[in-house]
Amino acid sequence: MKIQYVITFGICATVATTALADLELGDASKLPPAAAKTGVTYEKDIKTLFERSCVKCHGGEKPKSKYNMETLAGVLKGGAEGASIVPGNSAKSALVHQAADLVTDMEMPPTDKRDKYPALTKAEIGLVRAWIDQGAK
């Protein structure tokens, strides 16, 4: 839970919000290791993975959770729950934990839809980790 202080018309109020960055992440030691590949970019290496497994729900005019993963800008912006990646730190990025099935009830793609939307493999999650660790460019 994240506490935000909001000042409106000179009155300070405390508002509790939950964001992806505040999720109880899984055990980072259970994440697949980051790939050794250098120079990983969204356009060259990551976009096709997201198009295959994520964009059918997180794209278009009404993306789920208002998280549009069709573009690098959209991925970096995040959705209704805030940013899902921490550029430079894949171990603290909710997207990686969700893709690795380490966040209970928030596995991505959802486990009951994987016949239509295939999960990322361990190697692909490693590539996403390398991309994020290298600055998510």
DSSP 8-state secondary structure symbol assigned to residue 119: P
Token pair 């209704």 is at which residue?
A: 80
**pLDDT the model gives residue 24:** 84
Q: Domains of the chain: which residue ranges?
A: 24-133
The amino acid at 31: L
Please state the pTM of the whole predicted model.
0.83
Tokens (6 digits) for 127:
């590539």
Report the C-alpha gap between 91 and 85 in whole angstroms: 9
Three-state DSSP class for 8? strand
The amino acid at 53: S
> What are the pLDDT tens digits along the chain (137 aa)?
344 444 444 444 433 334 554 568 999 999 999 999 999 999 999 999 999 999 999 999 999 999 999 999 999 999 999 999 999 999 999 999 999 999 999 999 999 999 999 999 999 999 999 999 999 99
